[in-house]
């Protein structure tokens, strides 16, 4: 079974690197978008297995995007934050909001797919 990933980040270079990293895993496919609003539009017609969500974005930040996703589509799609803000209090706040966890930026392109798999129920 292929794992589908939505990666939401306002930084073009990081989206490109993440997409290439994730697609190194033959069991994963990825779509990317640059904002929470784009993510919401994409989710109208496609449901990924997991969403990687940047914490700090202009307009709608990660938590606002996660809240909007939950309000519109329910809690079924797991969210993992990808952020440079990895303090324990921030991590705990994001998990309390319903995120599965946090992947630290800068991420290692060689292990990103494995980190994503670790959050999946059947990894």
Spatial separation of the C-alpha atoms in residues 85 and 65, rounded to whole Å = 17
**Residue 86 belongs to a domain:** yes
**Residue 41 belongs to a domain:** yes
**Residue 122 belongs to a domain:** no
The whole domain housing 78 covers 3-117
- Residue of 33, 46, 115 whose CA lies nearest to 80: 115
Per-residue pLDDT of the chain (123 residues; tens, 9 = 90+): 899 999 999 999 999 999 999 999 999 999 999 999 999 999 999 999 999 999 999 999 999 999 999 999 888 889 999 998 878 898 899 999 999 999 999 999 999 999 999 999 776
**Residue 27 belongs to a domain:** yes
**Residue 80 belongs to a domain:** yes
Q: What is the pTM of this model?
A: 0.94
What local confidence, expressed as pLDDT, does residue 76 receive?
A: 85
Domain count of the chain? 1
* CATH code of the domain covering residue 62: 3.40.50.2300
């Amino acid at each position: 079974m292929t794992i589908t990933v939505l990666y939401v980040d306002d930084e073009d270079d990081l989206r490109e690197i993440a997409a290439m990293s994730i697609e190194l895993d033959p069991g994963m496919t990825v779509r990317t978008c640059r904002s929470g609003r784009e993510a919401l539009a994409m989710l109208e017609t496609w449901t990924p297995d997991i969403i990687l969500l940047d914490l700090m974005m202009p307009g709608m930040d990660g938590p606002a995007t996660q809240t909007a996703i939950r309000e519109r589509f329910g809690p079924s799609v797991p969210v993992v934050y990808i952020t440079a803000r990895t303090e324990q209090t921030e991590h705990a706040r994001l998990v309390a909001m319903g995120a599965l966890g946090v992947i630290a930026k800068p991420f290692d392109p060689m292990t990103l797919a494995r980190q994503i798999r670790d959050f999946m129920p059947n990894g």
